[in-house]
Amino acid sequence: MAGESCYAREVVAAALAAAQERAEMSADAMGRALIQAVVDRYREYRTLADIRSELDYLAASLDDDEPVVTRGC
């Protein structure tokens, strides 16, 4: 199932664009809401330790020149 990264980027871009178009929303708040929505969904089938590990891995990768990509476009 290749293409998850590309699709996710499209979904995030659309949500952030929608937030910028609406005076009552902000892109930062939308970004946090997107992250929280993913974490909430993960909690339905992953342990808190597993989610924490995933987030720690992604946070540690922020210093890398190349972002973490688990599936290509």
Model confidence over 32-60: pLDDT tens digits? 999 999 999 999 999 999 999 999 999 99
pLDDT of residue 1: 40
Q: Which residues are within 8 A (CB) of 16 and not within 5 positions of it... i.e. 6 or more apart?
A: 27, 30, 31
pLDDT at residue 70 above 80?
no
Average pLDDT, stretch 56-65? Answer: 86
Tokens for 67, please give them: 């972002």
Average pLDDT, stretch 24-31? Answer: 94
pLDDT of residue 63: 82
Tokens for 1, please give them: 């199932």
**What span, in angstroms and rounded, lies between the C-alpha atoms of 62 and 3?**
22
pLDDT of residue 65: 65
